[in-house]
Amino acid sequence: MNLLRYTSMILEDELSCIVVVLPQSIILKMRYLVIFTLLLSGVTVDAQKLVKKKLADNISIHVPDDFYPMTDEDKLQRYESARLPIALYTDPERLAELGINRSYTLWKDGDLELLQQFYESSIIELYDKVEFVNKGIKNINNHEFAYFEFESVVYPENDFQRNIAKYTYLMYALEGGTTYLFNFTCELRSKAKYQRIAKEIMESIKMK
């Protein structure tokens, strides 16, 4: 039998060196086992645990367990409006944000399709470049939402700035004369990490 010398363990002492020799077929099986184990490890590491948060009497949502609420100072830096969001969360690297807001408007509960068209135009006007990944109206936990999943770019105003590229998942809901906005956004380079998580967050929303 042809044997491939393979040093899997060397035990050294003052007198000897022992070299373990294994058949090539066993070595190949061991390599496949190592690769499979690494792949399984990657899946486990990528899994993100979500925890339920009650934001108001009528709203609950699941948030990544490593996200934490922004301070009032953080909120003021990001929002010029006097009406701060119901809740704002960010990740440890501060590259992703989850915001929940509401405003009292003239939209009626049956105006969701009109609202969806209005905000689609607003999104296009807001950025220099927009590419929609998905959009439409869908039912989540017995409530209708208008949603937009898109990539956006804002070009710099001078040579000392860089493009601002983002991945965003927006959800709008109408309830009793109030418009609710759920907004997940992150750096575009983090899209692969957060796209699935963003969808899970949005599909966990419950409104009474």
pLDDT in tens, 138-183: 999 999 999 999 999 999 888 788 899 999 999 999 998 899 999 9
Q: Are residues 102 and 121 in the same domain?
A: yes
3-state secondary structure of 48: coil
Beta bridge partners of 59: 56, 207
Q: How confident is the model at residue 11 (pLDDT cuts 50, 70, 90)?
A: very low
- Residue 66 pLDDT: 95
Give the percent of the chain with pLDDT over 70: 74
Domain of 160? 50-207
Cβ-contact 20, 7 below 8 angstroms: yes
Q: Are residues 112 and 193 in the same domain?
A: yes
- For the chain, the average pLDDT equals 80
Q: Is the pLDDT of residue 19 over 80?
A: no
- Residue 121 pLDDT: 96
- Number of structural domains (the chain) is 2
Name the residue with tokens 């689609």.
120
Q: Identify each DSSP E strand in 7-64 by its residue range.
A: 10-12, 17-19, 50-56, 59-64
Q: Does a structural domain hold residue 73?
A: yes
Reported pTM: 0.74
- Residue 146 pLDDT: 97
Q: Are residues 112 and 179 in the same domain?
A: yes
Average pLDDT over residues 58-79: 86
Distance of CA 94 to the CA centre of its chain: 12
pLDDT in tens, 83-106: 668 899 999 988 899 999 999 888
CA distance 167 to 148: 11
Q: Does a structural domain hold residue 194?
A: yes
Domain harbouring 166, CATH code: 3.40.1000.10
Q: How wide is the angle at C-alpha 182 spanned by C-alphas 179 and 183, nearest 5°?
A: 130
Distance of CA 108 to the CA centre of its chain: 30
Q: Are residues 99 and 169 in the same domain?
A: yes
Q: Which amino acid is at 32?
A: Y
Q: Does a structural domain hold residue 4?
A: no
Q: How confident is the model at residue 199 (pLDDT cuts 50, 70, 90)?
A: very high
Name the residue with tokens 């998905």.
134
Q: How confident is the model at residue 81 (pLDDT cuts 50, 70, 90)?
A: low
Q: Is the pLDDT of residue 42 over 60?
A: no
Average pLDDT over residues 107-121: 94
Q: Which amino acid is at 9?
A: M
Q: Are residues 148 and 83 in the same domain?
A: yes
Q: Are residues 37 and 57 in the same domain?
A: no
Q: Does a structural domain hold residue 166?
A: yes
Q: Are residues 31 and 98 in the same domain?
A: no
- Residue 138 pLDDT: 96
Q: Does a structural domain hold residue 3?
A: no
Q: Are residues 122 and 196 in the same domain?
A: yes
Q: Is the pLDDT of residue 194 over 50?
A: yes
